[in-house]
Amino acid sequence: MGQLFSDAVHDGLLPKSPLSRRTAPKAGKQRPYVATTAQVWALHDAMPAGLKPAVLLGAFAGLRVAEAVALRVTDVDWMRGIITPAIQYPDTELKTEESKSPIAIPQSLSLELSKNHTKWGSNTLVTNEWGRGLSPYRLEHYFREARAKVKGLPDGFRFHDLRHFYASLLISKGLDVKVVQKCLRHSSAKTTLDTYGHMWPDKEESARAAVADVFKARQGSIGNAANG
């Protein structure tokens, strides 16, 4: 029976034998879309006032959507510029110690994040138009509306993709994988490399140049000795 089906596949009568145990190879993991800095600011400006801090938390601190809407004023050390996530929506403790790692932010970001809280006196940094907290679902709803107003962003661009922007920003500034891992609060450097390894500059050319420099110095010293 197996041979009959194999012959039928060979003759083009069947696309695949129903008796075959072979499975299709896994599709390659699609690389995340990384927004430009201009697109991030356009998203920020297109969001309702109370939700602007969410974009800042995603793009410049790497918070996930459930972490961003749950971030409390008390989770931020405003003087030292440190965010320490502790819970996610609705009020659940973060699962891993890595997720609770502190995130250093500049004073300029602290000032921007404080504006909404100062206006409403709310317990959370991200609020709706009435100064109240909201769910990840509602945030994503407003995010999709804002996304539609930003030129060049794909339809599938999600709040989580702001985290990819944050990673690319850190890498572009020359931070190594361990530092980026810590900032993203990944449990291992492997996770960081699997997702963002393609963003680091090509090290092969650097290695080639390093060896070339040694040979160049060697040739120079030989030439100097011959002339002497």
Per residue in 133-153, pLDDT tens? 999 999 999 999 999 999 999
Residue 40 has pLDDT above 80, yes or no: yes
* Average pLDDT over all residues of the chain: 87
Q: What does residue 87 show for φ and ψ, rounded to 5 degrees?
A: -135, 165
The token pair at 18 is 């129903």
Q: Which of 22-31, 65-74, 90-99 has the lowest mean pLDDT?
A: 22-31
pLDDT at 209 (0 to 100): 82
Dihedral, 183, 106, 79, 73 alpha carbons, nearest 10:
-60
| Element spanning 128, H or E | none
For residues 212 and 204, what is the distance between their CA atoms, to the nearest angstrom? 12
pLDDT at 228 (0 to 100): 60
**Angle subtended by helix axes 37-46 and 161-172, to nearest 10:** 140
pLDDT at 7 (0 to 100): 47
CA-wise closest residue to 162 among 29, 28, 27, 67: 67
Domains annotated for the chain, with CATH where assigned, are 37-199 (1.10.443.10)
pLDDT tens string 180-199: 999 999 999 999 999 898 88
Instruction: Name the pTM for this structure.
Output: 0.78
Residues in Cβ contact with 55 at an 8 Å cutoff, skipping those fewer than 6 apart: 40, 43, 44, 47, 162
Percent of the chain whose predicted confidence (pLDDT) is above 70: 83
Residue 8 has pLDDT above 50, yes or no: no
Confidence of residue 179 (pLDDT cuts 50, 70, 90): very high
pLDDT at 6 (0 to 100): 54
Q: Give the mean model confidence (pLDDT) for residues 169-175.
A: 93
Cβ(124)–Cβ(73) below 8 Å: yes
The token pair at 170 is 């850190």
DSSP, collapsed to helix, strand or coil, labels residue 131 as coil
pLDDT at 200 (0 to 100): 83
Confidence of residue 10 (pLDDT cuts 50, 70, 90): very low
Confidence of residue 32 (pLDDT cuts 50, 70, 90): confident
Higher pLDDT pick, 219 / 159: 159
Q: Which of 19-28, 194-203, 204-213 has the lowest mean pLDDT?
A: 19-28
Per the listing, tokens 């998203």 go with 43
pLDDT at 145 (0 to 100): 97
Written as one letter, the residue type at 101 is S
Percent of the chain whose predicted confidence (pLDDT) is above 90: 66
Residues in Cβ contact with 57 at an 8 Å cutoff, skipping those fewer than 6 apart: 63, 67, 68, 71, 83, 113, 125, 126
